Amino acid sequence: MEVIIVSAAQDVGIAAAGIISRLVAGKPGAVLGLATGASVERVYAELALDFSQITTFNLDEYVGLGNSHPASFHAFMEKHLFGRVNIDRRRTHFPPTEGDDLAGACEKFEREIRAAGGIDLQILGIGRDGHLGFNEPTSSLASRTRIKTLTSATREANRSRFGGGEVPLHVVTMGIGTILEARHCLLVADGAAKADAVARMVEGPLTAMVPASALQMHARATVIVDEAAAAKLAMRDYYREVQRNKPGWQR
């Protein structure tokens, strides 16, 4: 796992956008896995790419919300990315949240990822309890796209997006096993509130109680955090030293 520590939250977005831009420059038809949340807003704000050939798969969506609901992740993506770039909406995909056979629809979503050639780069955030996507603590580390019940803590953390109103109890999310199949995982986090989760993810034991710790098993996982989010990393001085002393071919 590569850990990159930058000065401020805005720098997290700039650094992550640089990685995405380099991928798309070399592969204009890249397949991107997309996340939502405050940390990734800053990433999307920095992107100025040709999206015409890019295919996207979003991590998750609330069950029971219409696509136009302001708190839906469809609406988030439209506001923060899709509405300002030249993306072909036919190439955008979200986990299914409606229908009588949701399990079958989730399997179809998995097949669509494979049919697209798999995800080249999966953008991720992390919850304060270490959840990844909406894979809450105790989620199977081999899980696939499926319906999940949110914890009270996660619902409370997302309440502001619902104007203080009721947050849906259920979501559909890519599973940990699905996420780990991406060729490159890029996780961003900023702020002191994420420091404990970041430390447990990077340096703690591999455990279903911290689903994001599964990234320790990924062959190419990059974590970009600001100083506040890095505050509880025991090895943070070493991570800075690694970045300063990378050989030229790795930069």
The amino acid occupying position 75 is A
Helices and strands, number each (H, E), in the chain: 8, 10
Cβ contact 173:134 at 8 Å? yes
Look up residue 166 and give its DSSP letter.
P
How far from 135 is each of 38, 142, 171, CA to CA, in Å? 18, 11, 10
Identify whether 60 is a catalytic site residue. yes
Look up residue 63 and give its DSSP letter.
T
Q: Which of 11, 60, 120, 226 is catalytic?
A: 60
Identify whether 226 is a catalytic site residue. no
> Residue 81: which of 37, 115, 120, 118 has the closest Cα?
37
Q: Which of 61, 110, 129, 226 is catalytic?
A: 129
Q: Which of 131, 184, 190, 226 is catalytic?
A: 131
Q: Phi/psi zone of residue 64: left (φ > 0), alpha (ψ -120 to 50 degrees), beta?
A: left
Q: Which of 120, 136, 190, 226 is catalytic?
A: 136
Identify whether 136 is a catalytic site residue. yes
User: Residue 135: which residues within 8 A CB-CB, separation 6 or more?
Assistant: 143, 148, 173, 175, 176, 179, 211
Identify whether 69 is a catalytic site residue. no
Show which residues are catalytic: 60, 129, 131, 136
